[in-house]
Amino acid sequence: MKCSRAWLVILFGLVAGCGRVADLQPAPGHALPVKPMMARSTPTPADLLTLPPYARPDRVDEIMKKSEPRRHDPFDLAPPSGGAAPAVPAGTVPEPAGQTTGTTIDTPGD
């Protein structure tokens, strides 16, 4: 009993998967889109279904084959202060930026 149901489902799936393959045509009572203003001719259904090149661009996976020095970049300039980091006295631990010590922060509701 279960085997016949399985065959019935498989048969129904195969029949449903069959279909007539034909060229695409506009729906009855409708025409193809009008010719675009700057086009030389009215596009065919195949033209309308063809993806433009920018829809699937080529990948650029250029693997660096050998190490090369960087080109000179005229915009890679040093900071106006000369680029030197501020000196910290030896033996002191630098504090994270934006935090102050010895102050309390008032919170609402205190």
Average the pLDDT over 36-65 and give the result: 82
Please determine, for residue 102, whether its predicted confidence score (pLDDT) is greater than 60. no
Q: What is the pLDDT of residue 97?
A: 65
- pTM comes to 0.29
Average the pLDDT over 44-70 and give the result: 79
Q: What is the pLDDT of residue 12?
A: 78
Alpha-carbon gap, residue 11 to 8, rounded angstroms:
5
Q: What is the pLDDT of residue 4?
A: 81
DSSP states of 4-34: HHHHHHHHHHHHHH--------PPTT--PPP
